[in-house]
Amino acid sequence: MSRISVARHHTLGLEQARGKAQALAERLASQYQVKYRWVGDTLEFKRSGADGQIAVSADQVSVQLKLGLLLSALGGTIQREIEEVLDRELC
């Protein structure tokens, strides 16, 4: 099992950052059959072989992801993609 942890600071404020996390979750749900739900300001998501959360605050977004055995081989690629999306969306 592989774990990915990525955090980025932002200046969007809580509501706008939550909106961006929601849009990302909707895209993941349609492309990769990801199930998600909000628990407070944390978006929890799950699909076969992976689960994690996106914690949103007024000045930071933190992504925690656990990959199962099959997806672990793609861990580096998945982490880079998460970093690129956060850098693009939170600027």
Domain spans in the chain, listed from the N-terminal domain onward: 2-85
pLDDT in tens, 41-91: 999 999 999 999 999 999 999 999 999 999 999 999 999 999 999 999 998
Structure tokens at 81: 């993609």
**Helix axes of 14-32 and 75-90: crossing angle, nearest 10 degrees:** 140
Question: 4-52, pLDDT tens digit by residue?
Answer: 999 999 999 999 999 999 998 998 889 889 999 999 999 999 999 999 9
- Here the contacts of 22-27 (C-beta below 8 Å, separation 24 or greater) are 24/54, 24/85, 24/89, 25/54
Distance, CA of 81 to CA of 32 (rounded, Å): 14
Structure tokens at 6: 């990525």
Three-state DSSP at 24 gives helix
Determine the topology of domain 2-85 in CATH.
TATA-Binding Protein (3.30.310)
Structural element, H or E, at residue 12: none
